[in-house]
Structure 1
Amino acid sequence: MEKSSAATPARHSAQSTWRTLLVYGILALIIYFGHQYLQTALGERALAAVPLEKLTLEEALSASRASDKPVLLDLAAIWCPSCRKLDQQVLSDPAVVEVIRNKYVFTRVEFESATGETVQQKYQVKGFPTLLVVDGNGNLIRQLPLSFEPQEFIRSL
């Protein structure tokens, strides 16, 4: 009988530890997914404010061949704070938008999409946001330096 009474506190302690770990695990998941949801919602709002036409990569390449303008390819992730900053501070700026509309065909490719994976592999992209200038056949012309200042961004275009 002494044996069973000694085992009861140990079993209670183990159950208490597992409950605590379970509660912390669930709390961590709620925080993680809540944060991801918030970042995605903020990214969608920032992207919606970009007044550039949202073409697929194939549509942009086709328009590039038809217009003889290069493609400005923005590889970004909807939940990425730096991508959101680029959308809010640069790609929403009227002067930047005017230059892009006059000289380029714009496309945004989502980093985590199938097209995004292809773009990452083809152009050896390691991070985002990444801005590439490609011709109508998808050949890389150059990669633009990342800038969050509209006038500096225009100069790099």
Structure 2
Amino acid sequence: MKKLLSILMIGVLFMSTAWSQQKAKEVEFYQGSYDDFLRKAQKLHKPVLIDFWASWCGPCKKMDNETFGDSDLAAYLEDNFMVYRVDIDSYDGMEIVERFGVEVFPTVLVADYRGREVTKLTGFYSPKYFKSSLEKINERNHLYYELGSSQYASNK
């Protein structure tokens, strides 16, 4: 009985370790000032997403958990965008809200790598619909693209 119990405990420990290593990747928001965020986006030539968020906003929390918690979306955003979160209740956040005229929460502002607004997405978006919307915005505005080796300049 003791042997069976110890084997069961080892199995549970193994399974919990394996599960914790397979946790879904979440969207990683830039940690730092808004100005530093824009400088890095310009340096990397990556378009930006700015998530306007509040702790008291139910749809903001839902989008945070369901949309920004999706591993496929997280990988897509990491490859194609710099992502920043604005807490609209902070002093700096209120200033950024005013700068872009954001009136509805949640709002995700899509901008080019220089921080020039392209469009705003307002309200809750599921992960698949959010990704699809961003792909359509890119098709119209050419915010990002993948270069094939034949498209690079050569020194010949």
Pairwise TM-score range, normalised by the shorter structure: 0.5 to 0.7
The question of 1:155 aligning with 2:132 is answered yes
SS in 1 for 2:84: strand
Q: Say whether the 8 Å CA contact 2:59–2:123 is kept in structure 1.
A: no
TM-score (norm: length of structure 2):
0.63
Map of 2:28 onto structure 1: 52
More off after superposition, 138-147 vs 128-137: 138-147
User: Percent identity over the alignment?
Assistant: 28
Name the CA distance, whole Å, in 1 between partners of 2:128 and 2:118. 21
Q: Which aligned pairs between 1:105-124 and structure 2 lie closer than 5 A?
A: 105-124=82-101
Q: Which runs of 5+ in 2 are unaligned?
A: 1-24, 135-156
Structure 1 position 54, deviation (Å) = 3.4
* Selected match of 1:86 from 60, 63, 68: 63
* Selected match of 1:72 from 41, 49, 62: 49
The question of 1:128 aligning with 2:105 is answered yes
Q: Which runs of 5+ in 1 are unaligned?
A: 1-48
SS in 1 for 2:30: coil
TM-score (norm: length of structure 1):
0.63
Corresponding letter in the other structure for 2:96:
V
Change (3 A) 1:58 1:140: same
Name the CA distance, whole Å, in 2 between partners of 1:72 and 1:112. 19
Q: How many residues align?
A: 109
Name the CA distance, whole Å, in 2 between partners of 1:54 and 1:156. 22
Per-residue deviation, residues 86-108 of structure 1 (Å, max 9, x unmatched)? 01110010011011101100100
Name the CA distance, whole Å, in 2 between partners of 1:115 and 1:127. 18
Map of 1:7 onto structure 2: none
Q: Say whether the 8 Å CA contact 2:30–2:82 is kept in structure 1.
A: no
